[in-house]
Amino acid sequence: MNQTEKKTLIDKKILLSAIKGSFIKLNPRYMMKNPVIFVVEIGFFITLLLSFVPDLFGSVNTNARTYNMIVTFILFITVLFANFAESVAEGRGKAQAESLKKTQKDMKARILKENKSEEMVDANQLKKGDLVLVKSGELIPTDGEVVEGIASVDESAITGESAPVVKENGGDFASVTGGTTVVSDWLKIRVTSNPGESFLDKMISLVEGASRKKTPNEIALNTLLVSLTIIFLIVIVTLYPLASYVGVKLEISTLIALTVCLIPTTIGGLLSAIGIAGMDRVTRFNVIAMSGKAVEACGDVDTMILDKTGTITYGNRMAAEFSPVKGVSEVELIEKAVLSSLQDDTPEGKSIVDLGIKQTGKHFSENLQTIFIEFTAQTRMSGIDIENGTKIRKGASDAIIEYVQLIGGYIPKDLEEIVRNISSLGGTPLVVSENKTILGVIYLKDTIKPGLVERFARLREIGIKTIMCTGDNPLTAATIAQEAGVDSFIAQCKPEDKIKVIKDEQSEGKVVAMTGDGTNDAPALAQADVGIAMNSGTSAAKEAANMIDLDSDPTKILDVVEIGKQLLITRGSLTTFSIANDVAKYFAIIPAMFMNVIPQLGVLNIMALSTSYSAILSALIFNALIIPLLIPLAMRGVKYKPQRSEKMLIHNMLIYGLGGMIAPFIGIKMIDLVITPILIIIGL
């Protein structure tokens, strides 16, 4: 998805779909799922009836029909706006689903039969266990595991990432996703899903929102809103006889207007939109959430479990420093180290060349006639033999020492101390020799990814504990943990250790998140409250997790947690705003109802609203208009800044609590100024 698409909140297609959906959702059977707005719809039907039979409940107002019709229209608009908010959120998900469906349309597959013949079939006919051949330029028809071949696969249709990924049999890069394209060579793939069960199918059903269920937090908030609605209904029912006792004849439509204004219709209309938008926000971040509960759980995370390799560090030890032995210049060590690495295609070899060029500013020639000696597990060294007889080697300290001693070389006295110092820092010492002479040591270290220290500090600010898991020895693990700024670490970690730490944290009532990509991570991903699997990982890992990162970026768990926090903060902020609104609307309507009979209540008419009808209708119109005005905020989410919950509460109470009380006073007064002349003309 490009940046323009991400910034567009509502395009023309989504707008038209949302308007249509607003009317479709008027079905009472659907409206019952949102009790607060359902009460508004019931009020609409009652006032609609009163518009045709104004004296049904003994109304004495000669203009009751007109008044009832105005209230009916405003209530109808209120319900439509609430439905529109949800339809907009759903429309964005359905637009994404349509683009994914295009990937599936008319997809063909070359199936390999037992007699080794090939047959082209529709992709939707493939079954689990079938063997298919995909050649360069062809779409991979469905999810599977590579059983033969090696090829570059363009996953941009799914992930949005343009760089191809190499897929081959074995390891964590054997899993392929339907809808991606083979851009070079060929792959034999064994199908791992039946029709309708592929990853692409799951993505489509998830982003469409049709299968979305309410999350526990959302259910709890819904229960609160229903409770408030019931309380206000009881208040309104008792208000009618109290008003009669003091001689005030209240219109039924006025009581309905009062009910609609006092119950939390604002958050009731936006609640579903906030939840759907939260899942949509995660999806636009190239993460597929298997449920709304997973997104919401991200906002409650207390502990984060992260692998060291590939998550906190790059996973490859990189050259960090050259340490020559006594009597050897640093430039000489660098030159020989770089020469031995020019043909070394390993990440370590490339990093030695890069660091050497950076420190000397020289570009080293590859024109020498050399024979490259590859690293092997037996020799534990690599290097080059130059045509003039010079032999340069780099490798493990004990291997180089043994090699030099065998050819009659001398071992420098300070070599052991240099090697020991590098090891004590958690690094890998790589000793360099030229013929019989040891020149010095290359310090290889597991490099921390840039920006992670700051991100871990942000997590600490909001009370999230970080635990690093690594198979390294305790010394190396401690060095990396201190450098990265994580709170604690587990060294020499096995899969069962990850499960144990997750269970230990959960036993203390904490919500735990973790990332993983291998089959051995699957049990821990399933145990964690938030498990994010890499799309490049194994099928077992993806099936165990409740989120899948399409970009296969393990550090994205940090961003997903912030999205979850933003979802909860948005819901809390708009709930605060909605309830604060009700307080302001109370000061608009209640005094207007009783001022004529109880003049002392005029002191509560602090907005100086013109008439009782103007006060009621102004509050009702504001109540309707505030829902669509808040849709952009519900969709984009309240701006999130990492900070402690106490500070966040104070900030939101000031902005959305105080703001929620002030905005209606201004809005209702402005509406009153506009509609008062109109009401005078029509005799109200």
> Which CATH number do you get for residue 165?
2.70.150.10
Counting the structural domains of the chain, the total is 4
For residues 523 and 580, membership in a common domain is answered with: no
Task: Decide if pLDDT at 378 tops 60.
Answer: yes
For residues 417 and 461, membership in a common domain is answered with: no
For residues 76 and 213, membership in a common domain is answered with: yes
Q: Return the CATH number at 394.
A: 3.40.1110.10
Q: What is the pLDDT of residue 97?
A: 56
Exposure of 638 in the CB half-sphere (CA atoms within 13 A): 22
Quote the domain boundaries for residue 150: 127-194
For residues 140 and 171, membership in a common domain is answered with: yes
To 10 degrees, what angle do helices 216-245 and 252-262 make? 150
Identify whether 507 is part of a domain.
yes
Query: Percent of the chain beyond pLDDT 70?
Result: 86
Q: What is the pLDDT of residue 172?
A: 54
Identify whether 648 is part of a domain.
yes
CA distance 638 to 645: 15
Token output for 65: 């029909």
Q: With CA atoms as reference, report the closest residue to 98 among 211, 214, 13, 6.
A: 13
Task: Decide if pLDDT at 547 tops 60.
Answer: yes
- Known binder of ligand: residue 506? no
- Known binder of ligand: residue 376? yes
Token output for 449: 């990814």
Range with the poorest average pLDDT among 61-65, 82-86, 374-378, 509-513: 61-65
Task: Decide if pLDDT at 23 tops 70.
Answer: yes
For residues 435 and 466, membership in a common domain is answered with: no
More confident residue, 678 or 496: 678
For residues 327 and 307, membership in a common domain is answered with: no
Q: Do 47 and 253 touch, CB atoms closer than 8 A?
A: yes
More confident residue, 162 or 494: 494
DSSP state letters, 442-476: EEEEEEEPTTHHHHHHHHHHTT-EEEEE-SS-HHH
- Known binder of ligand: residue 259? no
- Known binder of ligand: residue 672? no
Query: Hey, which residues are catalytic here?
Result: 307
Q: What is the pLDDT of residue 17?
A: 79
Identify whether 5 is part of a domain.
no
Q: What is the pLDDT of residue 167?
A: 83
- Known binder of ligand: residue 533? no
For residues 228 and 367, membership in a common domain is answered with: no
- Known binder of ligand: residue 517? yes
Residues 6+ apart with CB under 8 A from 151: 134, 136, 166, 167, 168, 182, 183, 184, 185, 186, 187
Distance of CA 87 to the CA centre of its chain: 21
For residues 308 and 350, membership in a common domain is answered with: no
pTM of the model: 0.63
For residues 414 and 439, membership in a common domain is answered with: yes
Identify whether 466 is part of a domain.
yes
Task: Decide if pLDDT at 275 tops 80.
Answer: no
Query: Tens digit of pLDDT for each residue in 656-677?
Result: 888 888 888 899 889 999 999 9
Q: With CA atoms as reference, report the closest residue to 625 among 586, 664, 655, 677.
A: 664
Task: Decide if pLDDT at 207 tops 80.
Answer: no
For residues 497 and 526, membership in a common domain is answered with: yes
- Known binder of ligand: residue 382? yes
Mean pLDDT of the chain, nearest integer? 81
To 10 degrees, what angle do helices 265-284 and 216-245 make? 170
- Known binder of ligand: residue 470? no
- Known binder of ligand: residue 394? yes
Identify whether 490 is part of a domain.
yes
How many other β-carbons are positioned within 10 Å of the β-carbon of residue 492? 12
CA distance 71 to 624: 11
Confidence of residue 219 (pLDDT cuts 50, 70, 90): confident
Q: What is the pLDDT of residue 212?
A: 46
DSSP state letters, 194-243: -TT-SHHHHHHHHHH-TT----HHHHHHHHHHHHHHHHHHHHHHHHHHHH
Task: Decide if pLDDT at 200 tops 70.
Answer: no
CA distance 349 to 143: 36
